[in-house]
Amino acid sequence: MITFLRGKITFLNENSIELDVSGVGYKCIVSLNTSKFYSNKVNNEIMILTYHHINDTTQALFGFFEKDEKDMFELLISVSGVGPKTAIQFFSSASADDIKSYIKSGEVKALTSIPGIGPKTAKRIIVDIKEKITSISDNDIPNEDVLSENSNYKDAIDALLVLGYSKKDIINCINQLTSENKSIETPELIKKVLNQIGK
């Protein structure tokens, strides 16, 4: 099972990314959200989280820029009638946080706005996975706009997202660490966040 890849982006469009990993080319099917995240990284080395889908006739890699998106994708494909190519479309229409909110609040209409999802499938998604995400805390992310104005904070957030940490945890941690010292450089900030989250 391939859970992540690290390599240089050789090609990127709205629904796929191709990576050169030690001379071997890998293609990942991605959402628009993930494509946008890596849009300025072409010809640079990145790490991308992956889900390796295998069935009797084919196999494919699906790529994700953050753990929240991958986790939500895996919940969606556990629902009967929702395949991986349909599930990845959710994240071209909404964020992982938005989708969690739709499901937790039973918003059938919001889910049917996603291509390939009709009312019956939307209701099945809500019934099948609502309980699985009730333990997930509400997704309000404090002070994200303020943090994104600081390039050190933004670079740290981007780096930590590709390591698989949730944006909410990252930003909560950065808020705590920078409450007394707002001039922490990016490498030191990443190290401190990793130490804090790992406790």
What is the per-residue DSSP string for 25-63? EEEEE--HHHHHHTTT-TTSEEEEEEEEEE-SS-EEEEE
Residues 4, 50 contacting (CB under 8 angstroms):
yes
Q: Give the confidence band of 82 by pLDDT, cuts at 50, 70, 90.
A: very high
For the segment(s) 67-133, the CATH number from 3.30.365.10, 1.10.150.20, 3.40.190.10, 3.30.2020.30 is 1.10.150.20
Mean pLDDT to the nearest integer, 145-153: 61
Q: Give the confidence band of 198 by pLDDT, cuts at 50, 70, 90.
A: low
Q: Counting beta carbons within 10 angstroms of the beta carbon of residue 164, is it exposed (0 to 12), middle (13 to 18) or buried (19 or more)? A: middle
Q: What is the pTM assigned to this prediction?
A: 0.71
CATH code for the part of the protein at 4-64: 2.40.50.140
Q: Which residues of 73-93 are buried (b: 16+ CB within 10 A; e: fewer)?
A: bebbbebeebebebbbbbbbb
Q: What is the pLDDT of residues 89-140, one digit of tens each?
A: 999 989 988 999 999 999 999 999 998 899 999 999 999 999 888 654 444 4
Q: Is CATH 1.20.120 the classification given to domain 144-197?
A: no
Would you state the pLDDT for residue 139? 44
In three-state secondary structure terms, 17 is strand
Q: What is the pLDDT of residues 12-64, one digit of tens each?
A: 999 999 999 999 999 999 999 999 999 989 999 998 999 999 988 889 999 99
Count the Cβ atoms, other than its own, within 10 Å of residue 197: 15
* Domain ranges within the chain, ordered by starting residue: 4-64, 67-133, 144-197
Residue 58 is which amino acid?
T
The conformational region for residue 81 under phi > 0 = left, psi -120 to 50 = alpha, else beta, is left
Residues 68, 96 contacting (CB under 8 angstroms):
yes
d(CA 154, CA 197): 18
